[in-house]
Structure 1
Amino acid sequence: MISNEPLQTATNTRNYLPTGTQPLYNKIPGQQGAKISVKAANLKAQATATDQGQTYFRGYRVAQTSDGKFYMKVVSFDKTYRGWIYIGTTNPTTDSSHVTEGVNPVQTFKTQAPSAVITDTTFYFTTPKASTLTYTAPDWTQYKVGRNLNATTAYVNDALKVTQMGTKQNNRDGNATYYYVTDTAHPQVNGWVKASAVTTVKPNFNY
C-alpha cells in the first residue's frame, strides 16, 4: 500500500454511478481479508435505476496500491452499499473526475433560471405531507444533505416566491423539477421543494 487518504475535493464533485465493470470490495484488494462484497453485474443495475437518487455513490477515500492501481471508497446515498472499487491508474485526489474504471462522475441536479412568469407568481404548499418539506438541497441529490424542515403544517398558508429552479438528472425521480422557495413571513422555510408540491391556489387550512 502506497497511500490511503481522504478525498478533499468539493463534495458535489464526488458523486458517481457505477459502470458495472468493477465489483465492490469490503477492503482494499491485497489487504488481508479483502473480498468481493458486491458483484459488478449487481452494481450495473444502479446506473439505470429510477429511484429518487438513493443509489448514487459518494466517494470519500482513495488508496493507491503498490502496483499503481487506485481504489476509491464509496458509499451509496442510502448507505446500502459501502466499500472499495477500482477506478484506474490516475490519481483523483486533486480532480475527482479523474476516474477511468468502476464509476462515472455524474451531476445529480442541474439548476436553471426560472422564467419571469414563475418568479412573479405566488405559490403555496399543497396539503402538508412528506413531499411538501423543504430541503437544503433537493432530496437525494447530495449525500447526507436533507430536510430543511420536518413539517410544513405551520406554514401551509404562507405565500412563497420562487428564486431558483432545477431538475434531477440521470432519470432519478423522473428528472423531477424542483423550486427554491422563499417565505418572507417565516425565512426558516426557505429551501428546495418539488414543483408538484406547491400550487398557485391559496389553501385554507386550519391547523
Structure 2
Amino acid sequence: MTHHILAGVTFAVMAVAFTQVSNQAAAKSTISVTSNQALTTDGITRNYLTTGSAPLYSKVPVYKSAKVVTKAAALKTLATTADAGQTYFRGYRAAQTSNGDWYLKVVSFDKTYRGWIYVGTNDPTTDSTAVSGGLKTAETFKEQPLPTYFANTPVYFTTPKASTLTDTAPDYTQYKVGRNLNSTTEFYKDPLTVTKIGTKQNNRDANATYYYVTDSAHPQVNGWVKQSDVATSPAN
C-alpha cells in the first residue's frame, strides 16, 4: 500500500514539474521579433566595445535556429585586446523582441566577428549610445587642442617608404574608413602643416598620437598620419 502511495506522489510531483517546464517552454516560444531595422544614426555613435556579459548569436536568439557564434568569455577578452583597433565593433541593425529586449547586429572593424548581441531594453534606433548588456559605447579617437607650436613649424614624413600612409580617419578608429594615400614615397620632402591632433583611446595601439597634415603642393596627401611617421626635419 505504501509503495502505491509513494509511486502516486512521485508521479504527481513529476507531472507538476513537467507542466512547469512545458509552461516555461511555451512562454519562451511565444517571444518573437517585433521589429528589425537598419540603424541610421551617425556611425561615430555606433562604435562599441564588448562587455563579456552576453555572447554573439547567429540570429536573434528567439529563433530556434540561432546559435552562439562567439562566447561571452571570448568577447570579454576582446574588450582589452591591445591591437590597433581591429576589435572595436560597429552596430548596423537593431531588433526588438515582444518582451521588450533589444539586440544589435554588429561586426568587428576587421570583420572577424559578426552577429547579434543583447543590448538591454532601451531603444538604440534613436540613441545608439543607450546600450547595456553585451556592449558599451566606445570613443575610439579623441582630438585635443592644437599646440600653438605647430603654427610655424612644418613637419615631414620621416622616411621615403611606401608604408608611411595618410588616412581619412586614423586606422581602425572608424569602420571602413581609413587609408587616404597608399604611399607617400613621392612626397617625403614636402613640408606639411599640422592642423589637428588626437590620440587613439582604450589602449588601442598604445593610445598613439596622430596628426592631421596638409600639403599645399600636393593636396592629395592631406590626411591623418601617426606622430612617429613625421619629424621636424626632412629626410635625406
- TM-score range (shorter-chain normalised) is over 0.9
Alignment of 1:6-155 (within 5 A): 6-129=38-161, 131-155=163-187
Equivalent residue for 2:226, pick from 178, 194, 206: 194
- Per-residue deviation, 1:73: 0.2
* Matches of 2:57 and 2:156, distance apart in 1: 47
Instruction: Please identify runs of 4+ aligned residues in structure 1 that moved more than 3 A.
Output: 128-131
Instruction: Determine if the alignment matches structure 1 residue 175 to structure 2 residue 219.
Output: no
Aligned match of 2:235 = 203
- Per-residue deviation, 1:130: 5.5
Gaps of 5+ in 1: none
Gaps of 5+ in 2: 1-32
Provide the secondary structure at the position in 2 that maps to 1:132.
coil
Larger Rg: 2
Provide the secondary structure at the position in 2 that maps to 1:122.
coil
- Per-residue deviation, 1:131: 4.8
Is the CA contact (8 Å cut-off) linking 1:160 and 1:182 kept in structure 2? yes
TM-score (norm 2): 0.84
TM-score (norm 1): 0.96
Is the CA contact (8 Å cut-off) linking 2:188 and 2:234 kept in structure 1? no
The percentage of aligned residue pairs carrying the same residue is: 64
* Matches of 1:137 and 1:15, distance apart in 2: 14
Aligned match of 1:160 = 192
* Matches of 1:195 and 1:203, distance apart in 2: 15
Quick check: which one's helix share is greater?
2
Provide the secondary structure at the position in 1 that maps to 2:76.
helix
Q: How many residues align?
A: 204
- Per-residue deviation, 1:58: 0.2
